[in-house]
Amino acid sequence: MKPLRAVLFDRDGTLVEDVPYNGDPDRVRPVEGAREAVRLLRQHGIATGVVTNQSGVARGLITAADVRRVHDRVDQLLGPFDVWAVCPHGPGDGCRCRKPEPGLILRAAGQLCAEPATVVVIGDIGSDVEAARRAGARAILVPTPVTRPEETAAAGHVAPDLLTAVRSLLAGSPAGERPAAPAGADPGRWPR
């Protein structure tokens, strides 16, 4: 296994609270543990980036300028991040950057001069994990109430929260522990 050079985070639901089609910087709220997780990576010389689908642009719900303002706010609260890779396309646009396609991961890794095998993607849904796999990167799933049980079951590496995911990477393990059911999930349907 190659040494870790970079961690790429999904934005909504992973780094910051998920506000659908958020174009308002005042609504940006980091998830619990995000500040410490990003700080630990930087202390260890690991590059950080964000890879995010923003289909609200294609849908006409937000503008590219709105997305940049939200990212500026995320940088103020948690950053600055070394790279931002954004897909503004809709699900039916056929682009190669929208996760689960690998384009965002490959673009961000290239901008960081990091081989995909030295990159870990941390996200909250299956498309984050699949994009990493297709790009040749590793992935950790951090489930939230929107994560489908089959996505958790299929993920190779799962952590109960963002800080645990980062600590496990820094300890040399590609994954955290299998989590308990997240708040709001039906424990009877949650995979073990």
- Active site members: 10, 12
DSSP lists the bridge partners of residue 49 as 8, 83
**What pairs with residue 1 in β-bridges?**
none
Distance between CA atoms of 139 and 118, rounded to whole angstroms?
Answer: 11
- How many other C-beta atoms can be found within 10 angstroms of the C-beta atom of residue 184? 8
Match 């349907």 to its residue by tokens.
189
